[in-house]
Structure 1
C-alpha cells in the first residue's frame, strides 16, 4: 500500500479556518436526556419491539464475574438465536445487512448470521454524558469539518449536522482512558489455511479523557497506540507506535516502527492512514463525508463469546470467521459515506461506515476500490465492559473480498482479556522508547 498526502496551500487553510458549522439550537439540544440519550441515541424502541427502549445500559456484572478480573463472562450465554440468515434467505434481509455480509452469504453456502435478541448494553460515565450534553450547544465545526472548537471530552456532536461531525463522534467516543492487552492476530489465506500473523502487547491511550474538565485543543493527541510484538519468532522484537491529533491539517497522524534487524526507529505514514480496521478511519482530510442517515441494521453486538474466546484458532474457519462465535443483533446505526476528494490518493475510493447510535462505535464498514467495486469489509466486535462503563471494540476483522482472505486482530481471550490501567509515563510515549522495548 502506498499513501501520497495531498498538498494544501496556505491560502486554502486560511479560508477554511473561518468556515464554522452552525450550532444546533437550544430547542434541538433539549431533546438530549428527554427523547434522546445524552449521546444522541433514540431512547424509544422501534415499532415492532425488536429494538428495545434504552434503560441505562448494562451496569451489573453477571454471576461468576470477579471484581478486578479482565475476563468478562457473557451475560447472555443462555440465549438462542431468533433468526438464522444464510444464502437462501439473505435477499429478504439485505436492506438490514452490510454489502460485505450479503456478499459472504451469497458466496458461501455454509456462511450464516445468527440473530439474537437485542440488548442495548451501552453505559458511559456520568462525566462523559454531562460533557456530551454541553457539547451539543457549545461545540463548533471548523475547516469544513476537519477540525472543531470548544469541545469537552465526550461525544462532540451528539446531534450531528454533517458526515464529518458523525465521524468525529466515532473517533473521539469514550473507550476508556488507558488499556493494556496481549493479543493474537490470525490470517486465513484463500485456501482456508489459518496462520498466526503476530502475538503482541498493545497499550492504548486516549489522553483527552485524562482531564474531563479541560476543553480539547484542536491539535491535541486524542489517540495513542503502542504495540510490541512477541511472536512468532520472525516478528519478535518489532514495535509500532501511532499518534493521532484532532486537527489533521495542522498536525497529521504519525507512526513509527522499530525493526530489530535495523536497530533503529523510523517514521512511517502508511499505518496512520491505510489500515483496514474500522476503528482507524483517521484520514478525514482525504474524503468528502456525507451523513446518509440512520437505519435499523443487523450487526455484530454483545460479542462476549468471541471477544473472550480462549482458543483463538477455533475462531478461524475457511473463508470466514466461525459463525458459532459471532452474535448478531438489530440496532440503529448512522450510515456515513466518505468519497475520495479530487486529487487525493488512497486505496479506497469510497468508504461506508455504520456507527452504533448508543456508543458511536463503527460496528462495520464497507470499502470500495477505484473502480467502485466492493473491495474489503470490516467488522468490530462490540461488548460492554460492565465493570468499567466502557463499550469495548478491541477485536476486529477484515475480509479481502478480491483475494478471498481475511484477518482477525485483537484476539485477547487466550491472553487474559482487556485490562484498564493507569497511564504510562510520558517517556514511554516517545518514539525513542521503542528501541528499548523491542530488544529480543
Structure 2
C-alpha cells in the first residue's frame, strides 16, 4: 500500500483536535491561496510518475441541454486492464473491496483510463473554502461543525471527522433535481427495477445570499417522490440534515397514500434497511455514506493513490442494458482512473451499534466525495463494497457523484441506485429561498396522491 504521510496528520494536529478547536495553519492557508494546494485543498501537482496529472482548474465542456451532459473524454482509450491474473501487480493501488470483486465475481475487471482531474467549482465556492480554513472548527468530539458556510469546512483535514464532514458538505449544486431508477440484481442473475423516484435536493448551506453568521445549522433538505412500482407509487419522504450530529442528526417525514397522512419517521437514518434495495443497502449507504457520525469514531489513515471509478458521464448516458451485467456492472461501461484519495476508517463508538461494525471510505481529493467504500460485519469479515460514479457538469461547473452501487460479497447480490440512464439528466438551479416551500411536511402532504 502506498501511503502519503503528510504534515496534516501530525501529532500536534491530533492534540489540537482533542482540545476541540483546530484551524488551518498559516502555511496551509497560504498554500490554498497560491501554493501547492488547489482552492479545494487537493494537491495541485502531478504525482512523481506522471500517472496523475497536475490540476489545471479548467472545466471540461459537457453541454447541459435538458440536464443531459456528454462524456468529454469519450475519445480516450484504456491504458491498462486489471484482471484477476494481474491484480497482484497492482495490489497497492486497489481497495480491499475491489480486490474482493476481482477474486469473487466472474468476468469482473478494471478498464483503467488516463487520469483526468476534471473537478472544478465556482470561484464563489473557493472563496468560502478559504474563509472556512480560518473559521471552521469541530466540537462535541467531532460531531458538530461550527463557523463553516458555503464550502467544504476543512480543506486541510487533521482527523477523520473533518474529512467526513467535507464529504457530507461537499458542493453538489444549490437546488438539484433528477429522476432515477434503482435496480436489484440477485445472485442468480435476475434483474429487478425496484424503484423509480423523483429526487429534489436543496442546500441552504450554499445559499449565496446567506453567511456563516446567519446560518441556522440546516445544511440540506431532500424530497423523494416514488413513481414506480405501482404498489408504491405516491409514497414520498422528506429529510432535513444538520451540521450537528450531536444534538440533531436528521429529521424525516413520510407520506403513505393508504393512510393519507404525513408522519414523522425515525426509521430513515442509520442502518435501517432500504426496502427498495432488498436489504443490500441501508439508508446510511446513500452516496456510500450519509449517516450521522455519532455512531462512529472516524480515523484519518492518510492519503493513497488508488484506482477508482471517475468521469462517469459515459456510464450515465448508455442504455441500461449496456450497463448492468449479470454479476456486476459491465466492465466496458465503467471508467476507472488513478486518483489520490483520503482514506477514513470508522469504528463503532462504545455503546453504539450499526450492522457495519467498521467502514472504510475513500474520499477523492478533488471533490471530497466518497468514490469507494468497504464495510465489515461484527465478526470482522469484509461484507460489502460500494462504488460511486462521478458526473462532470462543466456548465455549472461542478463534479459530483450521482449513481452508486453496493455489492454484497457474501450473498452475491448487488444494487445499482441513482441510475439516470433511462430517465434523463440532472437539473441545477440557483437557490432563491422560495423553493423551501416545497420542502416541508405540509408540502409533502399536499403533493401526495391516491
Scaled by the length of structure 2, the TM-score of the pair is 0.89
1:321 aligns with 329
Indicate how the Cα distance of structure 1 residues 128 and 121 shifts in structure 2: closer, same or farther if over 3 A, else same. Answer: same
Q: Considering only aligned residues, what root-mean-square deviation do their CA atoms show, in Å?
A: 1.9
Q: Say whether the 8 Å CA contact 1:336–1:353 is kept in structure 2.
A: yes
Moved more, 133-142 or 363-372: 133-142
1:98 offset after TM fit, Å?
1.7
Match of 1:345 in 2: 353
What is the rounded CA distance, in whole Å, between the counterparts of 2:160 and 2:86 in structure 1?
32
| Alpha-carbon distance between aligned partners in 2 of 1:83 and 1:216, rounded to the nearest angstrom | 50
**Deviation at 1:107?**
0.9
Indicate the residue corresponding to 1:53 in structure 2: 54
Separation in structure 1 between the aligned mates of residue 120 and residue 87 of structure 2, nearest angstrom: 32
Which sections of structure 1, spanning at least 5 residues, go unmatched? 1-16
The whole-number CA distance in structure 2 between the counterparts of 1:348 and 1:25 is: 35
Aligned equivalents of 2:90, 2:21: Cα separation in 1: 37
**Is 1:36–2:2 an aligned residue pair?**
no
Contact 1:114–1:327 (CA<8 Å) still a contact in 2? yes
1:282-311, Cα deviation, whole Å (9 max, x unpaired): 3111111101000101000001111222x2
CA deviation digits over 1:42-62, x for unaligned, max 9? 011001100000000424x25
For residues 206 and 20 of structure 1, the distance between their equivalents in structure 2, rounded to whole angstroms, comes to: 27
Aligned residue pair count: 419
**2:304 counterpart SS class:** strand
Q: Which of 373, 376, 379 is the equivalent residue of 1:365? A: 373
Counterparts of 1:286 and 1:19 in 2: how far apart (Å)? 21
Superposed CA offset, 1:344-397 (max 9, x none): 011111111100001101111101111111111111100210011121211111
**Match 1:233 to one of 230, 235, 240:** 230
CA distance 1:141–1:268, shift in 2 (3 Å): same
Task: Provide the rounded CA distance (Å) in 1 between the counterparts of 2:121 and 2:308.
Answer: 21
- In structure 1, the partner of 2:446 is 436
| Structure 1 Cα separation of the partners of residues 291 and 195 of structure 2 | 23
| Aligned-pair CA distance for 1:264 | 2.2
> Structure 1 stretch 384-393 or stretch 415-424: which is displaced more?
415-424
Write out per-residue CA displacement over residues 72-128 of structure 1, whole angstroms, 9 at most, x where no aligned residue.
111111211111111111122122122111111111231111000000001001011
Q: 1:95 to 1:270 in 2, by over 3 A?
A: farther
Give secondary structure in 2 for the equivalent of 1:131: helix
Which one of the candidate residues 399, 409, 434 is aligned to 2:407? 399
Kept in 1, the 8 Å contact 2:149–2:215? The answer is: no
Q: 2:292 corresponds to which residue?
A: 283
Q: Deviations over 1:147-173 (max 9, x none)?
A: 122212111111111110011111111
Measured in 2, the distance between the counterparts of 1:57 and 1:103 equals 36
Evaluate the alpha carbon distance shift between residue 216 and residue 238 of structure 1 in structure 2; reply closer, same or farther with a 3 A threshold: farther
- Greater Cα shift, 197-206 or 142-151: 142-151
**What residue number does 1:149 align with?**
146
> Do 2:288 and 2:372's aligned partners in 1 also have CA atoms closer than 8 Å?
no
- 2:306 aligned to which of 297, 302, 308: 297
Residues 1:247 and 2:244 are matched in the alignment: yes
- Bigger Cα displacement from structure 2, 313-322 vs 372-381: 313-322
With structure 1 as the length reference, what TM-score do the two structures score?
Answer: 0.91
The equivalent of 1:136 in structure 2 is 133
Q: Which moved more, 1:314-323 or 1:195-204?
A: 314-323
- Show the counterpart of 2:10: none
Of the candidates 206, 211, 225, which is equivalent to residue 208 of structure 2? 211
Q: Which runs of 5+ in 2 are unaligned?
A: 1-16, 272-282
Q: Is the 8 A contact 2:288 2:387 kept in 1?
A: no
Q: Deviation at 1:217?
A: 6.8
Q: Equivalent of 2:199, from 192, 198, 202? A: 202
1:112 aligns with 2:122: no
The alignment partner of 2:88 has SS state of: helix
> Relative to 1, partners in 2 of residues 1:218 and 1:420: Cα closer, same or farther, differing over 3 Å?
closer
Superposed counterparts of 1:64-75, under 5 Å: 65=63, 68-75=65-72
Asked if 1:420 corresponds to 2:428, the answer is: yes
Stretch of structure 1 that moved more, 293-302 or 224-233: 224-233
Q: Which residue of 2 aligns with 1:22?
A: 22
* 1:4 match: none
> What are the superposed Cα offsets for residues 191-234 of structure 1, whole Å, 9 maximum, x if unpaired?
11101011111101111101365007785211221111111212
